[in-house]
């Protein structure tokens, strides 16, 4: 008699970073329906995390611009497991002190640069969702989506459809 196994758990994870206090409706629309949200730092203000938590449970790390008592509660890094996949979260990739391969980490998520990227090195996926907050220079406004089913992972960068006629005033801010 054949035994049945349960299908692997499928999870859709929204990944956002560098909001700097600006939580765009376009980002909320993309994150709607996610089972979990990861914020890779530079949140800007606690209301951003409160609003994201209304959509799904949030794991967030502190960015270099996150200041104040609320920000002190955020960890500098986090290690979470989704399905059978280990994910390491840090704001600035240059601060990474672990060896992801030796630690069994499959995905390293970071922010800080505002530049979206997906790269695989030595079997580890390095994902930076870019910035969903105020536009910096001419960089795109983006978030990322990660789907996990058992040990299988798929990731993509999502460019937010920011209408140039309806720009947010904060888009004009330039961060050092």
Can you give the pTM of this predicted structure? 0.88
CATH architecture of the domain with residue range 10-161: 4-Layer Sandwich (3.60)
Which residues neighbour 46 within 8 Å (Cβ) at sequence distance 6 or greater? 70
Angle of CA points 63, 66, 69, to nearest 5°: 130
Residues in the chain with pLDDT values less than 50: 1-7, 164-176
User: How far apart are the C-alpha atoms of 2 and 32, rounded to whole Å?
Assistant: 39
Token pair belonging to 117: 């990227």
Token pair belonging to 21: 């206090």
Q: For residue 101, what pLDDT is reported?
A: 97
Q: For residue 8, what pLDDT is reported?
A: 53
DSSP β-ladder status, 142-149 and 152-159: antiparallel
Could you tell me the residue ranges of all domains in the chain?
10-161
Q: For residue 162, what pLDDT is reported?
A: 78
């Amino acid at each position: 008699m054949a035994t049945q196994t349960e299908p692997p758990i499928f999870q859709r994870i929204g990944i956002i970073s560098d909001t700097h206090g600006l939580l765009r409706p376009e980002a909320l629309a993309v994150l709607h329906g996610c089972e979990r949200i990861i914020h890779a730092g530079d949140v800007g203000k606690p209301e951003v995390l409160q609003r994201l938590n209304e959509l799904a449970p949030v794991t967030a790390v502190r960015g270099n611009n996150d200041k104040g008592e609320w920000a002190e509660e955020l960890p500098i890094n986090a290690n979470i497991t989704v399905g059978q996949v280990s994910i390491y979260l840090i704001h600035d990739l240059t601060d990474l002190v672990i060896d992801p391969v030796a630690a069994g980490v499959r995905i390293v998520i970071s922010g800080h640069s505002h530049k979206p990227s997906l790269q695989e090195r030595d079997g580890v996926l390095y994902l930076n969702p870019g910035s969903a907050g105020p536009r910096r220079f001419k960089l795109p406004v983006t978030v990322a989506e990660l789907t996990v089913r058992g040990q299988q992972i798929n990731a993509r960068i999502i460019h937010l459809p920011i209408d140039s006629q309806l720009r947010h005033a904060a888009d004009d801010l330039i961060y050092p």
